[in-house]
């Protein structure tokens, strides 16, 4: 009797393998390295947030939430965005609670991208963007940010625009480079897109980690807001990345298409966490204090690296610090990260992992969203390089 046969259909993502984050986290576990690779905090969230979720669970908020999210949380988010960016989104028709920011981005892509459409991504970029475009049936068009400075190159963006351009994904504060788009750059993007039909998917999950000035949300700009899905993350803001709860806002016509997809791939998001977040975020102090909180961690980490042979790149936002490794090694970025974890006990992420062609500029990324003792242990090892 022949063995049972498992049919193997053609892969939707034949070029996708194990992510660099999984690889480096596994290597950190194997070697006992301090894990500054994957971007998540190793400290606890505010106990008051846990209490709010506990009250919601014990109060009976344990059944399906409405498809768009609890009205109380959507109303809190509408008030928050209006206070911070001066734009009022209708909580009934323009705000949806999602199962994290990655789901929000994928849902936006599926909602608006048709087979044959092109979507511009600015590299280096977060690793879910291109697979999401492909799964939506679109064609990714990769446009590099300026090497070294990681600023947008509007000449190259303009050259990439075509009648087939359906959307562009922008990310500020930017993972992995830690740059933050300026008001002037957002205005340039607005002017560039004005004569087009392109939609903006604005990934703003690090919105409360801008250190040297205000975060310039797409919501602040009249014409950009009119064509944008703006994505935020409670997980990043409140140190609970494992909760996977996010928000997307958009004009009603775009949100109607978004919700058509959302209702069939998620339908609704964790009810007690939504209720707990709505209660907790009535006080804006937790997110208004976040820039100072992470600025202190940035300064501690940068001061510890200042005497090393790693050259610090600017860190304008996020909880990532990029460094140039040229003075330490002529290894490729990926090989350097393997060597660093195995011989010096610190895990990092190669910048080349965020480029489709593996572009190598001798830069690696560390995450400083860690307890001081974690950062101190890593710095002691990095100072020996």
Over range 241-261, report the average pLDDT: 97
In a domain, 13, yes or no: no
In a domain, 84, yes or no: yes
Bridge partners, residue 199, by sequence: 167
Over range 81-107, report the average pLDDT: 97
Q: Is residue 212 pLDDT above 90, yes or no?
A: no
Here the CATH number for the domain that contains residue 82 is 3.40.640.10
Here the CATH number for the domain that contains residue 31 is 3.90.1150.10
What percent of the chain lies above the pLDDT cut of 90?
A: 93
Average pLDDT of every residue of the chain: 96
Interior angle at CA 214, CA 312 and CA 201, nearest 5: 90
Instruction: Verify that 189 and 220 share a domain, yes or no.
Output: yes
Instruction: Verify that 65 and 197 share a domain, yes or no.
Output: yes
Instruction: Verify that 318 and 360 share a domain, yes or no.
Output: yes
Check residue 241 and report its DSSP letter. Answer: G
Domain boundary among 217, 250, 282: 282
Over range 32-50, report the average pLDDT: 94
The H or E element containing residue 167 is: strand 165-171
Instruction: Verify that 145 and 179 share a domain, yes or no.
Output: yes
pLDDT value of residue 279 = 98
Instruction: Verify that 215 and 122 share a domain, yes or no.
Output: yes
Instruction: Verify that 115 and 232 share a domain, yes or no.
Output: yes
pTM of the model: 0.96
Total number of domains in the chain? 2
Q: Is residue 2 pLDDT above 90, yes or no?
A: no
Instruction: Verify that 306 and 234 share a domain, yes or no.
Output: no
pLDDT value of residue 21 = 83
In a domain, 9, yes or no: no
Q: Is residue 228 pLDDT above 90, yes or no?
A: yes
**Domain extent for 73:** 47-282
Q: Which residue has the tokens 């998620």?
A: 266
Identify the band that residue 139 occupies on the pLDDT scale cut at 50, 70 and 90: very high
Identify the band that residue 240 occupies on the pLDDT scale cut at 50, 70 and 90: very high
Q: For residue 50, what are its two tokens?
A: 């846990």
How far apart are the C-alpha atoms of 187 and 298, rounded to whole Å?
A: 28
In a domain, 314, yes or no: yes
Instruction: Verify that 113 and 197 share a domain, yes or no.
Output: yes
Domain boundary among 282, 305, 324: 282
pLDDT value of residue 337 = 96
Residues written for the chain: 385
Instruction: Verify that 35 and 71 share a domain, yes or no.
Output: no
């Amino acid at each position: 009797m022949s063995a049972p046969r498992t049919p193997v259909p053609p892969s939707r993502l034949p070029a996708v393998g194990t992510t660099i984050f999984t690889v480096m986290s596994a290597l950190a576990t194997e070697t006992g390295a301090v894990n500054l690779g994957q971007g998540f905090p190793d400290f606890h969230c505010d106990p008051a947030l846990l209490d709010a979720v506990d009250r919601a669970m014990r109060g009976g908020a344990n059944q399906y939430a409405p498809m768009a999210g609890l009205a109380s949380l959507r109303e809190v988010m509408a008030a928050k965005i209006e206070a911070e960016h001066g734009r009022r989104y209708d909580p009934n028709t323009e705000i949806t609670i999602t199962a994290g920011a990655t789901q929000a981005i994928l849902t936006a892509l599926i909602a608006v991208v048709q087979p044959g459409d092109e979507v511009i991504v600015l590299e280096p970029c977060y690793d879910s963007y291109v697979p999401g475009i492909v799964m939506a049936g679109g064609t990714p068009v990769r446009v590099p940010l300026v090497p070294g400075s990681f600023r947008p190159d509007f000449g190259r963006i303009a050259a990439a625009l075509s009648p087939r351009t359906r959307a562009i994904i922008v990310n500020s504060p930017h993972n992995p480079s830690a740059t933050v788009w300026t008001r002037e750059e957002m205005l340039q993007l607005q002017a560039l897109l004005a004569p087009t039909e392109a939609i903006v998917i604005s990934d703003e999950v690090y919105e409360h980690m801008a250190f040297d000035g205000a975060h310039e949300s797409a919501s602040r700009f009249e014409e950009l807001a009119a064509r944008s899905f703006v994505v935020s993350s409670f997980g990043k803001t409140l140190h609970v990345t494992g909760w996977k709860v996010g928000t997307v806002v958009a004009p009603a016509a775009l949100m109607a298409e978004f919700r058509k997809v959302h209702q069939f791939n998620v339908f609704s998001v964790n009810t007690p966490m939504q209720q707990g977040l709505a209660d907790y975020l009535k006080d804006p102090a937790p997110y208004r204090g976040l820039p100072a909180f992470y600025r202190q961690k940035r300064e501690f980490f940068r001061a510890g690296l200042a005497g090393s042979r790693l050259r610090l790149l600017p860190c304008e936002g996020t909880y990532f610090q990029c460094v140039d490794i040229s003075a330490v090694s002529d290894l490729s970025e990926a090989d350097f990260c393997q060597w660093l974890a195995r011989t010096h006990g610190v895990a990092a992420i190669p910048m080349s992992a965020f480029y489709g062609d593996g572009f190598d500029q001798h830069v690696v990324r560390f995450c400083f969203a860690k307890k001081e003792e974690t950062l101190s242990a890593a710095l002691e090892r990095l100072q020996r390089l």
